Amino acid sequence: MTELLAIGTKKGLFLATSDDDRRSWKVGSAHFPGMSIYAVAIDTHGPTPRLLAGVESSHFGPSVSISDDLGATWQEPDAAPLAFPADAGAVVERVWQITPAGSGVVYAGVQPSALFRSEDGGRTYELVRALWDHPHRPEWGAGFGGQAVHTVLPHPGDPSRVLVAMSTGGVYRTTDGGASWSPANTGIKAYFLPDPWPEFGQCVHKVARDGADPETYYAQNHHGVYRTVDGGDTWQSIAGTLPADFGFPIVAHPRRSGTIWSFPLVSDGQREPVELRCRVFRSTDAGEHWQPMQAGLPEEPFYQVVLRDAMCADDAEPAGVYFGTRSGEVFASRDEGESWSSVAAHLPDVLCVRAGTV
């Protein structure tokens, strides 16, 4: 079997492969050179793997391209696969998230904050109208990176349940297949608002689902790291032993409950690693305690940021963990963070990273 690492950057999509149990990597040349890839997915639900890439051209705008042969060829429909209906009065500016859900269903989160759903494997999409028409939408703000649905988490055991997160708006969920949506932010603080505990309006940076308990989620907020054990009804802080509570990604182990990884930054203002040290922090008890993992990572002063989708885990045993930086470096751990090695360097800004066995 081959491990595939899809690396989306500001100037193209790079595919890295490993055939020796993730000990060494071969990085190919750029697909979609010069275009920004903010979202990529490896869909292994079907008989053959399918790659989906959110491709953003400065001339032609955003689209979604598909490959059924691991990047040898790509297909893109003549008409834009993601487009608002005319009466919505909006234009898709960027694809921030692509999430395969099985049985041909693929979700796409976009900017401005909206959710699209495909039933043909990601070739065509329809707007999830109930979320777009939600009465809260006029009050959703824009984070520093824009106003976007950046997290889409279908429930693994119930396709009618989906949780999404947006910046800035918070966490929302549906239990009826998208016919209605409700905010799920109780306990998540929005320190920048007059009421720091609002029903919605939180700047959630990323949400991950626990690998073994589908009712447990972890959230990296704009200052704050949280856990819910009741599907989003209530959230509690788990930032206590982290050196800082600001950051962008949070990643959960694909199978083991309570194991999560984070890349904390000093603050919103500085946006650099704590003590200028390149360290991934891991918890094995659902965030009660965190430990720095840095063996094999750069030891010199490190200023780089890891963006919200530029960190992921694979489903191998033991789980691999990967992250890319805005300076174009990509690192891999084949032992759940205990040790790290370089996959690539000198790439363009890394925007997203996804891994899978193909």
What are the CA-CA distances from residue 350 to residues 170, 274, 324, 342 (Å)?
A: 25, 20, 5, 14
pLDDT at 57: 92
pLDDT at 80: 85
Maximal CA-CA distance, the chain: 54
pLDDT at 151: 98
Q: How far apart are the C-alpha atoms of 355 and 358, rounded to whole Å?
A: 10
Q: Which two tokens stand for residue 30?
A: 């750029």
Domains of the chain: 85-95+103-357 (2.130.10.10)
Q: Which single residue is written with the structure tokens 């949506």?
A: 181
Q: How far apart are the C-alpha atoms of 188 and 190, rounded to whole Å?
A: 7
Q: How far apart are the C-alpha atoms of 119 and 299, rounded to whole Å?
A: 47
pLDDT at 250: 98
CB of 252 closer than 8 Å to CB of 286: no
Q: Which single residue is written with the structure tokens 């690539």?
A: 344
pLDDT at 78: 80
Q: Backbone phi, then psi, for 93, in 5-degree steps?
A: -95, -30
Ranges under pLDDT 70 in the chain: none
Q: How far apart are the C-alpha atoms of 203 and 183, rounded to whole Å?
A: 13
SS (H, E, C) the chain: CCEEEEEEECCEEEEEEECCCCCCCEECCCECCCCEEEEEEEECCCCCCEEEEEEEECCCEEEEEEECCCCCCCECCCCCCCCCCHHHCCCCCEEEEEEEEECCEEEEEEECCEEEEECCCCCCCEECHHHHCCCCHHHCCCECCECEEEEEEECCCCCCCEEEEEECEEEEEECCCCCCCEECCCCCCCCCCCCCCCCCCECEEEEEECCCCCCCEEEEECCCEEEECCCCCCCEECCCCCCCCEEEEEEECCCCCCCEEEEEECCCCCCCEHHHCCCEEEECCCCCCCEEECCCCCCCCCCCCCCCECEEECCCCCCCEEEECCCCCEEEECCCCCCCEEEECCCCCEEEEEEEEC
Q: Which single residue is written with the structure tokens 């491709």?
A: 55
